[in-house]
Amino acid sequence: MKVGFEHYLILSALLFALGLTGVLVRRNLLVIYMSLELMLNAANLSLVAASHFSPGHSLDGQVFVFFIITVAAAEVAVGLALIVALYRRRQTAHVEDLTTMKL
Amino acid sequence: MQDALFYLFGFLTLLCGLLVIANPFSRNPVTSAMFLVLAIASLGGLFVLLHAYFLGAVQVLVYAGAVMVLFLFVIMLLDVKAEERRKIRGLTGKLLVVFGPLSVIAILFLFFKSLSAGPPNSDPNPTLEGGTIVLGKLLFTQYLLPFEIVSVLLLVAMIGVILLSKKDLR
């Protein structure tokens, strides 16, 4: 069976579901962050596939992915700095110990 | 050949992604980070299969290189112990266990439903390839403004990180 757009979309959806499951299931802030990265990568894969299989082979999807990667790198830097600041104050990276903002 | 490579890389990506979120042998964040590197590298392979050569290289350089080094650095800095299995307490926790996988299944269901409704038409022979020349031209003409904004964003993120990691954070 020829690999088409659908195959890439299904793979991307499965990867996104994996990332979402990780965010919901895991309790370590760092692992939750890695699952977020997995979800971002799933979105990237679908964008690149869309750009490849589009009728005019437009490169817009690839430019989008380029920007997403840049923003994700900035986001990782800020997020990890926040985690370090949090850890310095609370000595924990566990979401169950961080319930101050809970209603 | 390309189809076999797609299945190989796709399987590797999914397997490593699964091992990131639920590794039966170790709950150490370092193991998760290493498997995330593998997943991202195989995603880079998929990008190359899609003729996005520059993005494949960027994926490996930026993600598997810089971002993951940052992750590992923070993990080592925090000295996070392997996560012991905590018991899920209370009614909310039990509800979460039920509704979490349920929402994932719902999203997948919606996805497959919309996929079967209208299959997108695909062109089998690609002509334009995602090399550096075409992508660079696009970046510096049509997408010049987003490009400049992203550079400002990176600067803002850098200043923010320096402020956040100061010792006497108020």
Q: Quick check: A84 and B66 CB within 8 A?
A: no
pLDDT of B86 reads 58
Chain B partners within 8 Å of A15 (Cβ): 13-14, 17
Chain A partners within 8 Å of B18 (Cβ): 18
Tell me the three state secondary structure of residue B35.
helix
User: What interface predicted TM-score (ipTM) does this complex get?
Assistant: 0.89
Chain B partners within 8 Å of A31 (Cβ): 20-21, 29, 32, 83
Sorted by where each begins, the domain ranges of chain A are 5-97
**Three-state helix/strand/coil letters over B64-120:** HHHHHHHHHHHHHHHCCCCCCCCCCCHHHHHHHHHHHHHHHHHHHHHHHHHHHHCCC
**Three-state helix/strand/coil letters over chain A:** CCCCHHHHHHHHHHHHHHHHHHHHHCCEHHHHHHHHHHHHHHHHHHHHHHHHHCCCCCCHHHHHHHHHHHHHHHHHHHHHHHHHHHHHHHCCCEHHHCCCCCC
Average pLDDT, chain A: 89
**CA-to-CA distance for B145 and A61, rounded, in angstroms?**
17
Report the gap between the CA of B25 and the closest CA in chain A (Å). Answer: 15
| Residue segments in chain B with a per-residue pLDDT below the cut of 50 | 122-126
pLDDT of B36 reads 93
Q: Quick check: B150 and A59 CB within 8 A?
A: no
Chain A partners within 8 Å of B156 (Cβ): 74
Residue A7 has pLDDT above 50, yes or no: yes
For domain A5-97, give the CATH number: 1.10.287.3510
In a mutational test of the B interface, the residue from A39, A48, A88 whose CB has the highest number of chain B CBs within 10 Å is A48
pLDDT of B124 reads 47
pLDDT of B78 reads 82
pLDDT in tens, A42-87: 999 999 999 988 887 788 888 999 999 999 999 999 999 998 888 8
